[in-house]
Amino acid sequence: MSILAQHKYPLSSKHHVYTCLSPCLRTRVHCLATTTTTTTKPRPNLDQLVIEPQLNPSQTLVTSPPSRPILNDPSLRSTWAHRAWVASGCTTVMISLAKSIMGAAESHMWLEPILASLVGYILADLGSGVYHWGIDNYGSASTPIFGAQIDAFQGHHKWPWTITRRQFANNLHALARAVTFTVLPMDLASNDPIFLAFVGVCSGCIMFSQQFHAWAHTTKSRLPALVIALQDMGLLVSRSQHADHHRSPYNNNYCIVSGVWNEFLDKQQVFEASEMILFFKLGVRPRSWSEPSSDWTEEIETSSQITAH
Tens of pLDDT, residues 91-104: 999 999 999 999 99
Kindly list the distances between the CA atom of residue 16 and the CA atoms of 10, 148, 265, in Å, as whole numbers in the listed order.
12, 57, 51
pLDDT at residue number 82: 96
pLDDT at residue number 201: 98
Segment among 56-70, 116-130, 282-296 with least mean pLDDT: 56-70
pLDDT at residue number 150: 80
3-state class of 29 per DSSP? strand
Percentage with pLDDT > 70 across the chain? 68
* Position 11 pLDDT exceeds 50: no
Alpha carbon 274 to chain centroid distance?
13
* Position 279 pLDDT exceeds 90: yes
- pLDDT level of residue 244 (50, 70, 90 thresholds): confident
Amino acid 246 reads H
Amino acid 195 reads F
* Position 180 pLDDT exceeds 60: yes
Q: Angle at Cα 160 formed by Cα 121 and Cα 150, nearest 5°?
A: 70
* Position 90 pLDDT exceeds 80: yes
Given phi > 0 = left and psi -120 to 50 = alpha, else beta, which region is 283? left
Kindly list the distances between the CA atom of residue 66 and the CA atoms of 138, 150, 159, 166, 238, in Å, as whole numbers in the listed order.
15, 10, 9, 16, 26
Residue closest to 186 by CA, chosen among 196, 178, 194, 177 = 196
- Mean pLDDT across the chain, nearest whole number? 78
- pLDDT level of residue 136 (50, 70, 90 thresholds): confident
pLDDT digits (tens, 9 = 90+) for 195-240: 999 999 999 999 999 999 999 999 889 999 999 999 999 999 998 8
What span, in angstroms and rounded, lies between the C-alpha atoms of 28 and 175? 49
pLDDT at residue number 157: 65
Kindly list the distances between the CA atom of residue 18 and the CA atoms of 157, 196, 238, in Å, as whole numbers in the listed order.
45, 69, 55
* Position 43 pLDDT exceeds 60: no
Amino acid 91 reads T
